[in-house]
Amino acid sequence: MTIDTIDINTIIHNYRPEKRFTLAILQDIQNKFNFIPKEAIFIISDYLKVPASDIYSMATFYKALSLKPKGRHIIKVCNGTACHIRGSNTLINELTDLLNIKPGETTADGLFSVEIVNCLGACALAPVMVVDDKYFGAMTKDKVIEVINEYKEAVENGK
């Protein structure tokens, strides 16, 4: 993937060059590229006058940030306590089987990333799964298959 440094520069210039905006800038970059490109770390470092190692340590510390590209659709399976005791593991196993990836990984076609998250605050709907920003509550094995197929079909039709 080629990284457009113009995009990175546009994003960082939305903020004043103050250290406190590091996380906000990194999150905007994550949103734009689906990951934090190496180039971005150095550009931010120059702009904020903060060592690149500090930016790197932020990028690896916060879960919202990733140094590896993520898939087009990000599937978050909630494993908060309420979801856990209502069977979120079944959903995780089903996704692992269905997509052939482990949590934290991205499918080879770049379509899906699966993440396990700790509580999305929708406990009354447990177990919960979120695809991008859409919530799916009271999930079961069968519903997981339905949802994944729905997204796969949408992508195929989009082509």
Partner 1 sequence: MASRKILVCCGTGCLANNSFDIYTRFLEKLKDTNTEVIPEIKATGCNGLCEKGPVVKILPDEISYFKVKAKDVDEIVSKTILKGEIIDRLLYFDTNSKKKIVSHKDASFYKHQHKIALRNIGEIDPKNIEDYKERNGFEALRKVLFEMTPDEVITEVEKSGLRGRGGAGFPTGSKWRTCSKYDNYPKYVVCNGDEGDPGAFMDRSIMEGDPNTVIEGMIICGYAINSNRGFLYIRDEYQLARENMQTAINNARKHGFLGKNILGSGFDFDLEIVRGGGAFVCGESSALMASIEGNVGEPRAKYIRSVEKGLWDKPTVLNNVETWANIPPIILNGAQWFKQIGTEKNSGTKVFSLVGKVKNTGLVEIPMGTTLRELVFDIGGGIIKDRPFKAAQTGGPSGGCIPAEYLDISLDFDNLSRIGSMMGSGGVIVMDDTTCMVELARYYMEFLSEESCGKCTTCREGINTMLNILNRITLGQGREEDIDLLISLSETIKDASLCGLGKTAPNPVMTTLKYFRDEYMEHIVDKRCPAGVCKNLTSYSIDPDTCIGCSACARKCPVNAIEGELKKPHVIHKDKCIKCGTCFTVCPSGAVKIGGGLIESYNK
Interface residue list for partner 1 (CB under 8 A)? 18-24, 26-27, 48, 50, 54, 57-58, 61-65, 79-86, 117-126, 128, 133-137
CB of residue 85 to partner 1, shortest distance in Å: 5
Cβ nearer to partner 1, comparing 4 with 104: 104
* CB closer to partner 1 out of 8 and 59: 59
- Complex with partner 1: residue 60 or 100, whichever CB lies closer: 60
What is the smallest separation between the CB atom of 101 and partner 1, expressed in angstroms?
A: 19
For residue 139 the two structure tokens come to 């999930």
Q: What is the DSSP letter of 19?
A: G
Cβ distance 32 to 7 under 8 Å?
A: yes
What is the distance between the alpha carbons of residues 74 and 31, in angstroms, rounded to a whole number? 12
Closer of 65 and 111 to partner 1 (Cβ): 65
Chain centre distance of CA 97:
20
**At closest approach, how far in Å is the CB of 152 from partner 1?**
21
- Nearest distance from residue 33's CB to partner 1, in Å? 16
Question: What distance in Å separates the CA atoms of residue 57 and residue 43, rounded to the nearest whole number?
Answer: 15
Q: What angle do helix axes 88-99 and 141-158 make, rounded to 10 degrees? A: 40
Radius of gyration of the chain (CA): 18
CB of 118 vs partner 1, minimal distance in Å: 5
User: In angstroms, rounded to a whole number, what is the distance separating the alpha carbons of residues 41 and 61?
Assistant: 14
Please say which residue, 81 or 108, places its beta carbon nearer to partner 1.
81
Task: Find the angle CA(58)-CA(61)-CA(66) to the nearest 5 degrees.
Answer: 85
